[in-house]
Structure 1
Amino acid sequence: MSTTYAVYVRVSTDKDEQIASVENQMDICRNWLERNGYRWDENQVFKDEGISGTLFLERPSIQLILEKAKRKEIQMVVFKSISRLARDLKDSLEIREVFMAHNVRIISVEEGYDSQKEGKNDMAFELWSLFSAQYSRTLSAGISAALAAKVRRGEHIGKTPFGYDKTDGFLRINEKEATTVRMIYRWYNQGWGYKRIMNELNNRGIKPKLIDKWQVTSVQRLIRNPVYCGDFILNQYTTVKRDGRRKQIRNPPEKWLYFKDHHPAIISRTEWQIANRKDDNVSRRKVTPWNEFRGIAKCSECGCHMVIVQSYRKRVDGSTVHWKYLKCSKWRRGGGCVNHQPITYEAFRSMILNHMQKKGESFPLLLTNQLEKRKQDELFQYRRSLKRWKRRRKRLLELYLDRLIDKEEFEQKRTEVDRQIRAIYDQISILKKKEYREQHMESLREAFECLQEQNQDLYEFMRTLIDEIRVYPDGATEVDYSFEMPVQ
């Protein structure tokens, strides 16, 4: 048969038994294809390996298959079971809708599902998708129950905390590290701050368990962790899916599973409670200022994010003057980088806004030219690469005809060349999609207009217009705009 098909396989972990199931899925699909008169083509196999079926947007192969369906490049997609396609009911039905809208036949071998026979309004696919989604939830609940049972037996789940060793699943006090833990709590209850404790530990050459130096956050987490008074909390966090991606959120305290006196304590419960008094935490904690450049502004030396460090000075009249400076987060956490020349957040914000407004004056001509130049440059690179692979395919055929290589070697190398050529055609096709460029231009235009309202939060607009800002130790900056080609 001449029908162009795609075979989709997926495994959710990198374990050996899961890796072997890739071959198992391929064999099942190949058997169905050959029994139904199709010629097996391994180049039409698309794999998502080590990726959960609940994370739709993080699966590049299924995304490529959907793109091929929209471009009418495939007429049929085959997979072992609907659980391989997706384990989220909404995603599974959305994928089916795309295939059906573009007349792509769907084959799920294990369930015996064939969209050509079932028709567009069948309930079979929806029921199997529901079962698959329920299985994923049941599996997750089973794992959670098993973990809770282990914790009830006194076993520790997760990384071994500083101050302890783990033997046969149970925590045992490491006396050398425990001495440091007791010292940290004593210092903190005497009024020391996190940074002072961090500096003292590093100056004494005391190393944490997993990294080379203590950081502010590692000291803070140690003090906040109830594990040191013998307690263990399970179910503090839940992994949820938002916009097709996995995100970890903190559960409300009423959902926590609190195991009191779970393991040997390093400090007394009273000492832990003193360190974690709510009123004391509020008085010590500085409110983190809002940073419109979070994730965008980075240190030129180490690549870490630039964060806001606050400073203040009391005037003679008793009032307080506050400053906010941008500093390398790696330096702030405990060294390992340079201390940048002080630049206030307000001065930095004003400087970047001035740059952006100057760019906006030549918009949209600049934007249109840059986008078109970027597209043409990328197309040129792909087309040049395409010519190279086509020449390679021609030379390969000449070698075979001149009997310089045998048929087996010829077929093997030609398969790889054809795969590369198809991949380049895919990229060229995606690049030519005009609607994406138009949407991108419109979002940039709106962002430039919003920059005029300087009193509002500009974070989202900065993310739209800027890829990265590199801040140098002397205060100089270098900006990569999302709409400009980098200087060659």
Structure 2
Amino acid sequence: MIEENEKLTTYREYPYLVYARVSTDKDEQKDSLTNQVDICRYWLEQNKFEWNERSILQDEAKSGTMFLERTAMQLILKKARNREIKMVIFKSIHRLARDLKDALEIKEVLLGHGVRVVTIEEGYDSQYEGKNDMKFEMFSMFAAQYPKTQSVSISAALAAKVRKGHHIGKIPYGYDRVNQLLVIKEDEAAVIRKIFNWYNYYGYGQKTITNKLNEGVEEGTILPPKSGGIWQLTTIQRILRNRTFCGDFILNQYTNVKVDGRKKQIKNPKSKWTIIKDHHPAIVPREEFNKANNKKVVNNKRKVTPWNEFRGLLKCGHCGSNMIIMQSWKRKKDGTKTHWKYLKCSKYRRSNKCVNHPPITYEDFRKLILQKLIVETTKARFNLEANVSKNDQIKVKKIKNEIANLNNKIDRLLDIYLEGILNKFDYENKREELQKRIQQLEDKLFTLNMEKERAISIKTIKEALDQLNDTNKDLFHVFNVLIEYGVIYIDGTIDLKYKFNEDNE
């Protein structure tokens, strides 16, 4: 701690940041952003640091368990790595992180770059704790346990509400929520009944039902889905499988997990589900729901998409949706089947709301693309190294010109300051900003000048070129190295954008 007679440390001489976070706008007053900042400010002033409003960084409505979604925290770590700060102050470790791994990682990054870490409630100050991490780890563990305990309590409370007949979560199509209870919304429920009726008694397939619904939407005789727009094939499939419509409610069907610092929803195994039958009024009788779900096409027959070496590369020239592979077959007189695969616009498949491309078999399309690639890469193979070198030279020239311009700006800035037009504070801030940009460009220039990086790029493309003649193997990775994207138009025209042309930087 700084002694009373010591000179006050200014913001510029000792750059620090104050971090505050709230998970929701319903956080208690003691954890509000204003309260957190006030506590940190009091600590700073008591320890003879000059207060600066610009030192505050806040994450609002950001869970402490979601590390990568907290933009202010990511900025703190970036500034630490760039040696731009010397201290970070938190009201408590609970505000720092609610995950033990994240808390320890944040602390290691900060300490590893010479940043002092202070958490006021726990009395932790890395300047005085030295290598003794037990206090920090212990409080981090308590902070990590809190959301787990809270989650269990909340889940139990929600389960109790559901067992009383209350509804939680998103209101499903066909229902309204009144006094926490689901009630049937007749105009939407009529659409649900129509879907089951067409499927069970008219023999319509899911694609036919999708098309008929969209025709009704256009004519104004059928309501659109809750999100508006058009009905999709996947929506019809989910409706036919959704037990909500026969009056059931499923608890614990999904759960949130943390993957690489972000939330991801996964489906729990059925053994973990809690099914509450007759929880709310049914739109379709249970026997109708069971009849729809006992069909082989729903439960047993699973469509398997053929292996697609062009997945993610091809777009429809009419609507921009992905082109996918469909498969079909025809039985011959001798009982054998003829199978074929063909390209189709995914939007047309889902909803008929695009053009139906003339059938292009996958095998013919693959041969055509290989022929195009062989022709184009024959030209590129002989000057590949020259092209890559040329592109890098252009990039280097641009970066050098930008650095020169920034240095000229710094010189002009100094002239303006010496003439008294600009005060010292503004001059130093602007100069620092320009110098940071120069540093970023110099780092990029260093990377471009590394011969090894350029050699790896050339080698990767060359290896892809060498594999084009081996047509019997899976060429997915080869196509991804050589092709940026492809567009297929209604007249059968195919446009390919290559990654190895001279105009590609």
Shared fold per TM-score greater than 0.5: yes
Q: Matches of 1:162 and 1:65 in 2, distance apart? A: 44
Retained in 1: the 8 A contact 2:482–2:498?
no
1:270-285 alignment runs, 5 A limit:
270-277=287-294, 279-282=296-299, 284-285=301-302
> 80, 95, 105: which one pairs with 2:116?
105
Once the two structures are overlaid, the 10-residue window that deviates more, 65-74 or 431-440, is 431-440
Q: Does 1:78 align with 2:54?
A: no
Equivalent AA in structure 1 for residue 258 of structure 2: K
Task: Structure 1 unaligned segments of length 5 or more: list them.
Answer: none
RMSD: 4.1
Q: Secondary structure at the match of 1:186?
A: helix
Q: Does 1:251 align with 2:229?
A: no
Aligned position for 1:310: 327
Retained in 1: the 8 A contact 2:293–2:299?
no
Equivalent AA in structure 2 for residue 146 of structure 1: A
Q: Matches of 1:484 and 1:143 in 2, distance apart? A: 57
Retained in 1: the 8 A contact 2:66–2:263?
yes
Q: Does 1:96 align with 2:115?
A: no
Q: Does 1:9 align with 2:20?
A: yes
Q: Secondary structure at the match of 1:57?
A: coil
1:152-167 alignment runs, 5 A limit:
152-167=163-178
Retained in 2: the 8 A contact 1:297–1:468?
yes
| % same residue | 47
User: In terms of Rg, which structure is larger?
Assistant: 2
Retained in 1: the 8 A contact 2:326–2:343?
yes
1:89-238 alignment runs, 5 A limit:
89-190=100-201, 191-205=203-217, 206=222, 207-238=224-255
Equivalent AA in structure 2 for residue 311 of structure 1: S
Q: Secondary structure at the match of 2:88?
A: strand
Aligned position for 2:494: 476
1:262 deviation in Å? 0.5
Equivalent AA in structure 2 for residue 320 of structure 1: K
Once the two structures are overlaid, the 10-residue window that deviates more, 76-85 or 229-238, is 76-85
Retained in 1: the 8 A contact 2:486–2:494?
no
1:382 deviation in Å? 8.0
- After superposition, the C-alpha distances for 1:433-486 in whole angstroms (9 at most, x for unaligned) are 7399867975885586478376666656766776654444444234374x8897
Q: Matches of 1:343 and 1:378 in 2, distance apart? A: 46
Q: Matches of 1:24 and 1:414 in 2, distance apart? A: 34
Retained in 2: the 8 A contact 1:379–1:431?
no
Aligned position for 1:266: 283
Q: Does 1:288 align with 2:288?
A: no
Q: Matches of 2:69 and 2:373 in 1, distance apart? A: 32
Retained in 1: the 8 A contact 2:316–2:489?
yes
Retained in 2: the 8 A contact 1:43–1:419?
no
- Matched positions, count: 478
> 315, 331, 336: which one pairs with 1:298?
315
Q: Matches of 1:329 and 1:315 in 2, distance apart? A: 29
Q: Matches of 1:245 and 1:443 in 2, distance apart? A: 31
TM-score, normalisation: structure 2: 0.78
Q: Secondary structure at the match of 2:306?
A: coil
1:253 deviation in Å? 0.3
Equivalent AA in structure 1 for residue 284 of structure 2: I
1:82 deviation in Å? 2.0
- After superposition, the C-alpha distances for 1:346-395 in whole angstroms (9 at most, x for unaligned) are 445555566777398466665565466557646766875x5798699779
Retained in 2: the 8 A contact 1:48–1:59?
yes
Retained in 2: the 8 A contact 1:443–1:464?
no
Q: Matches of 2:89 and 2:77 in 1, distance apart? A: 13
TM-score, normalisation: structure 1: 0.81
Retained in 1: the 8 A contact 2:325–2:342?
yes
Q: Secondary structure at the match of 2:118?
A: strand
Retained in 1: the 8 A contact 2:318–2:489?
yes
1:269 deviation in Å? 1.3
Q: Matches of 1:62 and 1:465 in 2, distance apart? A: 38
